[in-house]
Amino acid sequence: MKLLKIVLTCVVLLLAGAARVYAQAPLDVARDLYATADYEKALTLLDDLISREMGPKRQEAELYRALCFLALGKRDDADRAVETIVQRDPLYRAPEDIAPRMRTAFGDAKKRLLPTIIQQHYNAAKAAFDAKDFGTAGEGFQRVLDAINDPDMKHAASQSPLVDLKTLASGFRDLSVQATPAPPPVAAILATPPPVPQVQAQSQAVSASRIYSSLDSGVIPPVVIMQEFPKYPGRVPQGGILGAVDIVIDQTGSVESASMQTPVLSGYDAMIVQAARAWRYQPARVNGQPVKFRKSIRITVVPDRVGTN
């Protein structure tokens, strides 16, 4: 009888502990698993979390994913995880108390990736400037300058082409600020706006949910931040393989949906659609506002390379 009481007490304590674990947020559980060196279980939980979360929680989950890979000695996987973080947020700064090896990985990733990302942001800002969307242009040129001034880019920023790009971005930013209309007086802001006609209100609602494309006028198309295709699994026939994928990029620059317009190979098509969920863009804009955009990407598969045009 005494033994039975001891067993029942242990079961109750175990169930209480399990309840506390499951009551925790998934990211908290992943942190605990990492702290107890249960890296494989942490990775499984983090992969699921990353597929569902956006914003700061996803960013922290990706950081712990990189840390788990590094702890397991999977340096290539850790480097790729760090690159994903940098591509998503070029200005990301790792925590001060992070392991030195991980801090080095972030510095190396920025040196590899930021020159290309900076050029892409500059091109988008210049396109907005040419379209006389000076508010968007000013913000874009400021992002370029912030990225060039990143401490990890100190050496590269003093050399061409970044030193020249910094001069151009600074000049165009100042011109954009000067050309941006001044805000209306406070009285005008506080004034009660006239009622919006029903037809106009319906038109605005339709515009907010509209998906634009390259056929629409006045649209600044999205700019690629990260768009990597998976390696083709198998032998590529002579002459290569052609295909196309359609994606819808939302107002945050994430891929909302993806589907094969011209299939390549059933198994590979699924790999492309899966990879597209991680692609990132600077969103398309109309009159300075981010909008949804449908983009068709033609795919060319040749030996040792998957390209687009």
Residue 1 lies in a domain: no
Residues pairing with 255 in the sheet: 249
Residue 101 lies in a domain: no
Q: Domain check: are 126 and 166 in the same one?
A: yes
Exposure b/e, 18-44, CB count within 10 A at least 16 = b: eeeeeeeebbebbbebbeeeebeebbe
pLDDT in tens, 195-239: 655 544 444 444 567 899 888 888 999 998 888 888 887 787 777
Q: Domain check: are 118 and 80 in the same one?
A: no
Domain boundary among 130, 158, 179: 179
Domain total for the chain?
3
Q: Domain check: are 221 and 304 in the same one?
A: yes
Q: Is the peptide bond before 151 cis (omega within 30 degrees of 0)?
A: no
pLDDT < 50 regions, the chain: 7-8, 11-12, 15-23, 188, 199-206
Residue 205: its pLDDT value, please? 42
Q: What distance in Å separates the CA atoms of residue 95 and residue 196, rounded to the nearest whole number? A: 48
Dihedral class, residue 73 (left if φ above 0, else alpha if ψ from -120 to 50, else beta): left
Residue 42 lies in a domain: yes
Q: Domain check: are 248 and 284 in the same one?
A: yes
Q: Give the CATH number for residue 79.
A: 1.25.40
Q: Domain check: are 35 and 78 in the same one?
A: yes
Residue 255: its pLDDT value, please? 93
Q: Domain check: are 246 and 298 in the same one?
A: yes
Residue 106 lies in a domain: no
Q: Domain check: are 230 and 301 in the same one?
A: yes
Domain boundary among 155, 179, 203: 179
| Domain enclosing residue 296, as ranges | 211-308
Q: Domain check: are 225 and 261 in the same one?
A: yes
Q: Give the CATH number for residue 216.
A: 3.30.2420.10
Q: Domain check: are 303 and 236 in the same one?
A: yes
Model's pTM, two decimal places? Answer: 0.51
Residue 271 lies in a domain: yes
pLDDT in tens, 65-84: 889 898 898 888 888 888 88
Per the structure block, which two tokens stand in for 178?
A: 């000067």
Q: Domain check: are 83 and 138 in the same one?
A: no
CA dihedral of 97, 103, 106, 107, whole degrees rounded to 10: 130
Residue 174 lies in a domain: yes
Residue 133 lies in a domain: yes
Residue 142 lies in a domain: yes
Q: What distance in Å separates the CA atoms of residue 302 and residue 239, rounded to the nearest whole number? A: 7
Q: Domain check: are 250 and 285 in the same one?
A: yes
CA atoms within 13 A on the CB side of 298: 4
